[in-house]
Amino acid sequence: MTERIGNRYRPLFEVRLLHHYWLDEGAAVFDLISDPSRKNKRLHGYDRRPFLTVVPTAATAKALQALNCVYKDTAPGLIVAAPALQVIPADTLFEFIVTVSHADFFNYTALTLPPREIRTLYHQPEDKAYRYKTNVFVLSNLTGAARGAGADKTVFLSTPYSAGGAGDKVEYLILSAGKLMQLTSDGDAADPTSQLLNANANVLPVFVHQDDIPTIVPPPGLAGAPERGIQLTGEIPDDVFALVRLSPVRADDDDFSFIDDNGIAKEPHPVFQVRFKNRSTLRRYFDKNTGAVKSTEPNPLPLTYFGNAGSKQKPSEGLVKAEKSGTKITRLVSEIFT
């Protein structure tokens, strides 16, 4: 009888791209919904594939094949599995490209107002052209923040929040005395407006935010490079919205690592989370017959598919209007005709 040798696979890591437009219940942030069954139902019914596409880069696809790993696209994101005894070199880099597949995503997602411009610059000393794209998020387990501890610890791929500063833009997320705030207008040295998201920032997830856009360091002598964004290469398409970069080992927090000291997949495997914050807008109600303004909500309210953060008709996921004073955005408005 022919001997059979099994090669059992185990998960190496998982990434979940969770959008709060589809998770929150009106004004209640998904993580703070008190009913566990409702949370489970919401999460199990969630599917990011209609609006976000994720694929490994060509180099990552080759590395996965060389390491006998299996990549699977899932409703919340992706999962990679490896043979139980497969050694994963610690210097391996797995990179995944996130693109937007439905234009409405930009209407109900916070921090999507800044343009994503591509700039091509010629560097004479190298006789080479460099291409950069602004406002692309880079999400990594080497720099991600965590919430909770022990069995309740959640690992996010977004960096820790920082304090605000001059030049901040509308929808920036900032820390202020331990509180999580979101700007409701462009910031300046005078008085940007903001709203309180929670008095204790640690009870909320770490949303994708402005500090996830890396600083660009161009080669010496190359003028005109944008301040923040990424360099485009042959592997990274022009329509990239975000990059997920994962390394097997994080020295300062092993909960972000996905191999053990022998290079074997850890058990249990890490589940990395990426959280896209839903946009909040000021709701302005118009008479559908006369076009006259009937009322305006006093504060911005979150856009959600489930529930209603206000007491009147909620806006659809359609167009959001950015009102300005000169070049400064002063508020984001949803116009509702009733």
φ, ψ of residue 117 to 5 degrees: the values are: -95, 145
List of residues 6+ apart from 283 with CB closer than 8 A:
296, 297, 301, 310, 312, 314, 315, 333, 334, 336
Q: How confident is the model at residue 316 (pLDDT cuts 50, 70, 90)?
A: confident
Residue 236, pLDDT > 80, answer yes
Q: Rounded mean pLDDT of 141-151? A: 96
List of residues 6+ apart from 107 with CB closer than 8 A:
279, 317, 318, 319, 320
Segment 159-171, tens digit of pLDDT: 999 998 888 999 9
Nearest by Cα to 243 from 327, 155, 141? 141
Segment 93-141, tens digit of pLDDT: 999 999 999 999 999 999 999 999 999 999 999 999 999 999 999 999 9
**Predicted structure pTM score:** 0.94
Q: What is the pLDDT of residue 48?
A: 98
Q: How confident is the model at residue 7 (pLDDT cuts 50, 70, 90)?
A: low
* Secondary structure (DSSP) of 48-92: -TTTEEEEE-HHHHHHHHHTT-EEEE-SSEEEEEEETT----TT-
Q: What is the pLDDT of residue 166?
A: 81
Distance CA 235, CA 44 (A): 33
Residue 26, pLDDT > 50, answer yes
Segment 184-221, tens digit of pLDDT: 999 864 566 899 999 999 999 999 999 999 999 999 99
Q: How confident is the model at residue 253 (pLDDT cuts 50, 70, 90)?
A: very high
Separation of CA 218 from chain center: 25
Are 296 and 282 within 8 A, CB to CB? yes
Residue 68, pLDDT > 50, answer yes
The β-bridge partners of 112 are none
Are 226 and 134 within 8 A, CB to CB? yes
Segment 39-54, tens digit of pLDDT: 999 999 999 999 999 9
Q: How confident is the model at residue 1 (pLDDT cuts 50, 70, 90)?
A: very low
124: amino acid identity, one letter: Q
